[in-house]
Each structure stands twice: as C-alpha cells, then as structure tokens.
Structure 1
Amino acid sequence: MRALTSFQLNPGSDDQGATLVFSGPMTVSSLGLADKDLRKIDGSIGEINVSDVTMMDTVGAWTVWRLSRDTGAKIIGCKDEPQKLIDAISKADSNAHSIRAPRLPLLQRVPEHIGTVMLNLGRGFLQVVGFLGQVILSAGSLFRHPGRFRPKALIHQMELVGVNSLAIIGLMSFLVGIVIAQQGAVQLRQFGAEIYTVNLVGRLTLRELGVLMTAIMVAGRSGSAFAAQIGTMKLTEEVDAMRTIGVSPMEALVVPRILATMIMMPLLGFYSAFLGIVGGAFLSTLTLGIPFFTFLSRVQEVVPLHDVWVGITKAPVFGLIVALAGCYQGMQVKNNAEEVGARTTAAVVMAIFTVIVLDAFFAVFFTNIGWG
C-alpha cells in the first residue's frame, strides 16, 4: 500500500507557537489528503520539523515553503537535498520577484512605439503590393488560358455583391437623399434660394455620395464577407488543399471576387445616386412645393454630364480597393479562429479608409482637369 504523508501539530509556548512535525514521504502522490488538512490549520506555528521526512519532491518542498511563508515558521531538521529544493522554490517566488520587464522611460518608449508602427506599416504596404502583383499575374494567366476561368463563380459573386445588396443600398440612398434635401433647403431658405436644392441633391449624389456611400456599404457587407470566407478556408486548410490538387487559389477565389465587385460597383453607384435623387424629389414635393417630376427634369438641366462620368469612373476603382482589402486580409489568416474576426475587421477598416483617401484625391484631380 502506498505510504501517505502524516503530520502532527504539537502545542508550544505562547511566545513560540506550535510545532508542525511531518513524517513519511512528502511527494506529489502522498500529499493529497494531508494538503487538505494542512489548509485548515488555524493558529500560530513557530516551527516546521521535517527531520522524519523520508522523501521529498518539488511538491513537498513547495508545501513546506508555503507554510513557512504564510505563517512565518522556521523550518528545522531539513536534510541537504530537500533544503536545496526549498531554497530554489523560495528564489522563484513570483510574489517576491517581478517577472515583468522594467518599463522604459516615456521619451524612449514613445519613439520606439512609433518606430514599430511605421515598420509594420511598411511591411504591410510591401505585402499588399506583393498581393496585387499576384492578382495581376493570375489575371494575366487567365487571359492567356481562358478555359481556366470560372464564369459560374463570377456570376455567383456578382449576385452576392450586387443583387443581394440592392435593398439595403437603395434604402440608405433614399434616406440620404432626403437628409441632403432637407438640410440643404433649410440653409438655402435663408437666402431665398430653395430652388437650388435641386442642384445640391443632383450634383452631390451623382458625383460624390452615391458611389462613396455604396463603396462603404459594399466594404461593410461584401468586403467583410470576402475576408471571413477566405480566412475560414485558410484556417481549415482548404486553400492548401486547392494548391495540392493544382488549383490556384488566386484564380479560383480572389480574381472572381475582384472582377464581380469592379463590375457591380458602377451599377450600384448609379442605382444609389438615382434613389438619392428620388429621395430628394420626394422631400421637395412634401416641403418645398416642387412637383416630383419637375424636380427630376430639373436635375437633367442643372447637372452636367461629366458629373455622371466622375461617379462612374471612381466606382470600379473603389470596387477594386474593397475587394483587394477583403481578399488580402482573408489570405493572411494563419493561426486561429480569433484571427478571422480580427482580419475581417481590418479588411473593413482598410477598405473604408483607402476609399475615402482616394475620393479626396479624385476630387482634387477632377477639379484640376476642369470637371469640378
């Protein structure tokens, strides 16, 4: 039968406290029952006697040292080998010795953090450029070998990106058109120029807000879906399996999504701008006394044709950015399911930020070429 650890609490004088005497082995296999009773001991302990202990491992040494630390008792009768274990455990006490590295001074910590962020941005930029190069090579390969192109995958992605998002984009655009017309009319009324609400709604929706709001909605809806889908496939090693059987993930997963988004973005942008104008016409009919169809015909007179071309020109570029961000972040998933969520969030943030920056660039560019 396996020997168990036994102990006895011998009362002592009031100024010294009781003596706790251990006997038998003090190992991980023998301390189970004794440890429960040891934790119930109340009162002062002056000494811990381990002279009758026949064997002691790390668990036994830790038990003796813990009792000594908590009660302030002195350990007596300890042999050389158990004493080495107790000394080693006392030096590794996490309460007495901090395991955290000392914090750097503020003047050194801030530049170091900024440098780390800038290095990460540089690496990320190079990775994005490399990913874009892979997309171009894959598109060129499909152009040379059109039999490898998957039209069904393209049509399926066009349905997901375009057709399935018509409702939410239409509702959003209609409401944004109402808001623009209402706020514009309030401000223009101060100058007796409410009729120019038509100009404001028409030019703003066709030139800027129609395609910009659509790009933001597609980034939140489809860009995040791209990152989550490809990231999950990467996590479950489906992407590696495709490479194993000779199928290029870039040709099968990335290129159809990018093409579908670039094709659908101009259509969605024009659809969004049209419903924004309808929303403005609807509000103008109710509050400004401008008939609905008069508002629409007036839009044709006051909005120059190049405003339409500005929106249509920006749309495929925004679609490319949204699809690239989603597919790139999805292909970066490596370790665990938590990274899928992090990469999905990063895809939406990257797409929206880049779209807004490019929109500002386009605004300056078209103004300088006379399409302002």
Structure 2
Amino acid sequence: YQLAGQLFNLSLLVSLLEVIVAGRDCLVAGDSCSSDETCSPRLRTLRQCVAGNGNMKLGPGARSQCASAVSALLSSPLNGCQCKRGMKKEKNCLSIYWTDVFLAGLNLVESYPYETVHRDYDYVRWPPSQLVSAFTFINLATLTYSTSDVNRCLDAAKACNVDDLCQKLRTEYVSVCIKPTAKSGLCNRSKCNKALRKFFDRVPADYTHELLFCPCTDTACAERRRQTIVPSCSYESPEKPNCLTQMRICKADYVCRSRLAQFQYDCAPSETSSTGCMQDNYGACLLAYTGLIGKCYNNPNYVDNSTSSVAPWCTCTNSGSQKDECDDFLGYFADNICLRNCKKMFFGYYTPRLRPKKVEKQEYLNEIKCRLKGWNIMCIMEH
C-alpha cells in the first residue's frame, strides 16, 4: 500500500510538472486530468454543471455534486491554467479555461484567459518606474507628430509588402474581403473575418501595429488606416446593431468571449496610475485590442477619417434599463484613457521599418489616384 501510494504521488507530481513546464497550458492540464482516474470523473461532473447548472443531467443532488467537484478540482493542475492566443485547438483550450473559471468563481479582474506575451518593443518592456519618467517629459494630451515629409501609414504598408508573411496574408485577406459571392453579390463576411484572424494572429505585431496605429494628421492618411481591416465587408451593415445584443453573441463564443475578457483586463483604465493603465503594459493592451479583430462580431475600428477615436460597430440606442451597462461597454473603447495613451505612446515611439528619404512625385500621384477612386481597397494595396 505504501509503494502504491508513493507511485500515485509520483504520477501526480509528474503530471503537475508537465503542466508547469508547458506554461500551465489548459490543454495539457485537461489531458492530464482526463487520464487520471480520480480527476477525470470530477472534470466530467464539472462540465455538466457548467453546461446546465447541473440540474437536468445530475439530478436532485446536483448542487452538492457540483460543489464537491469544484472543491476537488481547485487543487488540480486545471486551476489557474491559461491558453495561448492563436494556438492550435484554441477553442478547446478556452473551453477548459472557462470551466475552470466557473469553478473558482473568479471575475475578469482576477483572471484572464491568455498567457502574457512579451514583444521586442522597448516601450512594451519599460518597467512602471521608467514609464512614469517618460510621462514626465511627454505630454500625451498635446503630443503631435511631424508628418509633413512622410505618410507613416503608407510606410507601414510598404514595410508589410517587403516581408513575405505579412505581404502574403495581407493580400490573402484583402482578396477574400472584396470578392463578391455568386449568390448575393456581397462579400463573404465569415471568410473575411477568418482571413483577418489569420493575419493578426500570425503576422508579428511590429507589422500589424504599424498598420493599425500609424499616426495621421490628414484625412487621406486616416482613411488609409481605417480601411486596413476592410470595414465594408468585415463589420459594416446598413444599421448598427445594439451593443448588448452583440455582447451576448460574443459571450456565447469561447474565442470571442476570451478576446474580450483579455482586452478588458489588459486595457483596464486607472485614474491613479501615471500611465492611465491598471496593468502598466502598453504592449499587452495593443495586442489585446488587435486580438478582437476578426474574432468578435463587431470589429472595433476608427469611427471615421477625421479622428483617432475607435469604437465597435454597434449602438446603445434602445437599450432600455441597461443603457448604463451598454454605455460602459462602448466607453471601454471610445473613452478609455489606457487605450488612448497606448496609441499615443506608440505614435511617439514608432519608427517605420521602411522610410524613404523623400516622397517621390509618383507617390503623390498614387495617393491622388486612390482618393479619386474613393479609397478603393485594391488601390491602397497596390500603392
């Protein structure tokens, strides 16, 4: 019996170490639990509890069975596991994560679905003390940029075009998003967003950020930036849907729900922080924002070509008694000091990968050509 107990403890330790080495991956934790004769039935019970509150599938004793499963699994490798953005079987991983969150009774402030991603941006890796010092010298409210000799959004497009992966996946999503279907003559929104997801998940952030957050001082540049995610296909409709309806649809989808939760965590505003962000992590906030594009049903984007304000394609009109909740959701985009400061700091830090010494005459002609075509997306891609 003593030997059996030691072997059991050793097996449990190996399983736990596997999860730790894997970065507490929920898929690994789930597989480990499923192969354990003690953990597996409790996980099945838990999933039944999550699916229907336990009442229908577990019978009269559902409440106590659910409580027992929760208590047992809180000490398992499942507790505290996370997923990686864009990973294979991401949806399966997230289904395990949300089961775990349901068990622990955690809220979004305490828990978030994705592992922290570190990128090679100096401004991302600044510790809070250096960020405060930076803010001492940079007035973000009045920060301006000299773009008289360069169109940074055009430079961002050029930088993408000289990178094989960026150019390939950008061309791919644009061609999908502008292609009309034979039946309706309209684009295929589902395929368009799938291609957008692929682009933003696989292309390095130093390219995608430059395309989305390049600073503009004129409407021509701003319209090029707004057209980056092909709004006419990816989200625009004759009438804006209600934001609360879109939120309910999003929360029913594991991936959309997770991307929104990550955005709300990484871009949480703070009135007491010198950076305006509760997490003091600009890079994580920008990554979380781009993670929403193509994943959620109301892609956030620039509201027009005259400002740098962003918002999802929805409205709070006719929200009734939930108007305040709806306004809070919209405000997380349109009136979020953290997100606003993230974009401004990126504008100030931004150094294009491909910046010509002078803007040649042909580039001016190309810009004029695109304006005359009403900023046709293919024109933007070609130039």
With normalisation by structure 1, the TM-score equals 0.27
Q: Which has the higher helix share?
A: 1
With normalisation by structure 2, the TM-score equals 0.27
